[in-house]
Each structure stands twice: as structure tokens, then as C-alpha cells.
Structure 1
Amino acid sequence: MSSIDPDTGGSSAVKAQLRLREMLLAGELPGGARIAELALVERLGVSRTPIRAALMRLEQEGLLEALPGGGYAVRTFSERDAADAIELRGTVEGLAARLAAERGAAQVVLVEARQCLAQVDAVLAGPALDDEAFSRYVALNRRFHALLWEMAGSAVLQREIERVVSLPFASPSGFVVVQANSPQARDMLVVAQDQHRQVLAAIEAREGARAEAIMREHSRLAQRNLREALLGQDHAQMPGVRLIRQKV
């Protein structure tokens, strides 16, 4: 494991936070385990100050829980927790889509969203997806959702959406990777892309209720992927699944 170069100021804490998040999602720090600060200091090669700052930020993200006597432990989540987080993301993204339609989205953002979807169409044009194409889809999917949030023109709503999607299983691409090796992978992504186009059309037509309903339905694809991820045996490529308990 590579160490993080010692640094001063906030950059060390950010680097530590990123590395710790990777470790948590990869299952290197098992669910329920108490975090040992000194062990992390040695493992990551930084001082205790940035480690503590990183732990505090990860607790705010919801990946760690503060213990009554001090310190932190790795959080675990029930399947219901994960499903509720996805449902909440669908709700707030639906609100963003409705506000974008009712208030009128900025033309420059609409143009960028159309260009993003055109790039997705190009990725999905082939009969199958290789690893490079799939990675490209994930990046474009993330970008489209970010543009959708921007269309609402609400800093308050965008802040709340970012809070919701901070958990790995609630992000727009959180469970898309489940489809990577599925025979139906391209078909499901085509369905998701059609929903992207429908919501953009509804926003441009100023159809708020329709735009909201489409995004609520869009989150149901992630619910399906969650169930498939939990049923699967190989979680190596599925960040965060090891933290999800299948019993409520």
C-alpha cells in the first residue's frame, strides 16, 4: 500500500479522507470495527491531526459513527437503509427536475446536458460495452445528473442532494457497475438513457410534474441494481456493498 506524503494544512486531511474512504468501501476496515488512530497514522504516513480531521469528515458523510466514549467505528447499513437512501435521492432529484421545469433552466446548462446525452448515445451505439466504454458511461452519467441538479438553480437543494448522494449506494452511478458483466447491461443502460432524454424534454417543455415523476421512476433502476448487488457473490467491483447488511 502506498503511503501519503506528509503535508501541512488541509491537503493532508483531504488525502487522508480520500484514502480512508477507499479503505472503507473496499472492506479493508470491516463494518463495526473501531478505528485505531495510531494504526492509521502508521499506515497512511501522516500525523494524527489530519487523521482526526479526516475521521470527522467521514463521520459527517455517514460512513463512520462517533462512539460515546470517544473515537469512531465503521458504520454498517441495512438493506433498507440503502434502499431508503436511493429513494431519497430519487425524491430530491425529482424535486430538482420539477423546479428546473417550472423556473426555466439556463440555456447554457441545457445545451451542455444535450451534448452529454449525445456522448452517452455514442457510447451505447455498439452492440456491447467493453470496460473502457462502461467507464465512459459512468462518468457521463455522473455528469448528466450533476447538470440536472444545476438546472434547478437552487444552492439549497444542490447542497442537500450532494449530502444525499455522499453515501456510495445513493449516488447516481452507485450500483450501475452491477450491470457491467450482465448480458442485459446495454439494454438497461439504454432504458436509463431514454429516461434521461425524457426528463430533459420535460424540463424544456416546462412540464414540472412529468419531469419529477420521471426522476422518481429513474431511481427505481438503482433499486433493482441494489438487489442484484446483494444477491451477487463477487463484491470486489462493487464499492460499499460489504458495509450493507442484508437483514433489516
Structure 2
Amino acid sequence: MAKSGQQILTTLRQMILSGEFAAGARLAEIPTAEKLGVSRTPIRIAFRALEQEGLLNKLSGRGYEVRSVSIEEIEGAVEVRGALEGLAARRAAEKGLTEEQKFRFETLLKIGDTLFEGHFPLMETDIEHYHDMNKAFHQLIIEVADNQAIAIALSRDEHIPFASVSALAYDKSNMIEETKRFQFAHTQHHHIYQTIVSKQSARAEMIMREHAHATLGHAHRYHDVDKKEGIKLIKNKSH
């Protein structure tokens, strides 16, 4: 079965994070497409997306280079994202939801519930659907908050690995644990929605911050990957 663009993007992201594509390595469309057994077009699109996420640097000539990223850089970006999304959740709770917004939230939550009820562990196609639902859920909170400054600041923060809600990474060799991780995140989605709909603004902000910071646990799983000359998420020795 042909891979979707999202599956190709996720595969390349994981290959970078795991060290299969080493930090400093140069990537080109044709050999990468041949390696994955796909055409050049989805590879080109994926490379651009990974550049936006901060995992690749565009070279002056053709191709890209895998970036080296410090764990401190990621921690800072996730902290900022947590603060911004927490503020958005607080504002959403203070403003309250329209019936149409409630319907959209509940529809997204049901999509997630159905995914986890259908398969355990999740399959690759399930995670692709989870990615779309998760992204829409976070975007809806920003939309309800109706604060352009928050949206602009978040868009700037998304250029650092793990800081973007769109940058989904998972270990295909350990789908049981990954399914549990996504299931926990979806449980947090329910809690966030309940605090927003009941106008518990302080609690909505707190849970949203915790939700963003859960990303750090996944990032720290890669912090020793420099031993394989991977993305080099290196912990500062002064910490």
C-alpha cells in the first residue's frame, strides 16, 4: 500500500531523531526517495516541512543538511509553547464556548476515542488520524482564545524540533508504549475541554501547560543519541 505524505514525513522525522540520518549528513531527494521506495514529490514536501520544524537546514546548492539541536533549545521552546497554549486555554475558558465550538471540540474528542477503542496498539494509519485530530484540537483552542499575538508567537516557536504540535514523532518498533503515550495525551484533551467548558480558567491553563510539557519526556529519549552521531540532543553538562 502506498504511503501517505504524512507517513513519509513521520518516517523521515523519526530517521533523523533516531540517528539513522546523522547530524551534519546531507540529504537529497533522489537517494532518499529510492531509500523509502517513493517518488520525489512527497520527499520534497517532507524536506520543506522538516526545514520548518528546525530538523533540516537548506543548503545553498541542492539538498538539505541534518541540524544539530541541543536539549536546552528544545526545553526552552516547549516551555514557551506551554506558556502560550496555557494562556490560550485560560482565555478560552474565560470567554466561554459557543454551541458550535462545543460541537467541534466534542467531534474531535470522539474521533480520538474511536481510534483508541478500535485498535491496540495503534497502527500507522491510526496515528496519522490522531495527528490530524490533535492538530485540529490545538488549533481550535487558539481560535477560541482569539488573540492574534498568541497565534503569531506560537508560529515563531514552531521552528524548533518538538515545539510544534504538528511535529509528531513515534517509535514504530514500540507501538504498545507509543499507543499508551498518545492515549494519555488524549485523556488530557478531555480534561482540557472540560475545564474550558466549565470556565475553570486557572485549571485549564495548568493542564494545558502540563500537556505541552509531556513532549519533553519524548525529547529526552533522544538526548543520548549523539553516541550514534544522530541529531545530538545533548544535555548541557552544567545542568
Q: Structure 2 length as normaliser, TM-score? A: 0.68
Deviations 1:97-141 (A, max 9, x none): 001111224442332121011001001103511111121111211
Instruction: Give the one of 129, 132, 140 matched to 1:147.
Output: 140
Instruction: Give the one of 73, 88, 99 matched to 1:96.
Output: 88
Matches within 5 A, 1:1-248: 31=23, 75-128=67-120, 129-178=122-171, 181-231=174-224, 242-248=230-236
Unaligned runs of 5+ in 2: 1-10, 30-47
Distance in 2 between the 1:61 and 1:185 partners? Answer: 21
How far the C-alpha of 1:230 sits from its partner, in A, is 3.6
Q: Percent identity?
A: 31
8 Å Cα contact 1:165/1:171 also seen in 2 = yes
Distance in 1 between the 2:13 and 2:178 partners? Answer: 27
Distance in 2 between the 1:118 and 1:61 partners? Answer: 29
Residue identity opposite 2:162 in structure 1: F
Q: Structure 1 length as normaliser, TM-score? A: 0.65
Distance in 2 between the 1:190 and 1:61 partners? Answer: 24
Q: CA RMSD in A?
A: 4.1
DSSP 3-state at the match of 1:144: helix
Residue identity opposite 2:126 in structure 1: A
Q: Which has the larger radius of gyration?
A: 1
Q: Assess, with a 3 A threshold, how the Cα gap between structure 1 residues 26 and 94 changes in structure 2: closer, same or farther.
A: same
Unaligned runs of 5+ in 1: 1-21, 41-54, 236-240
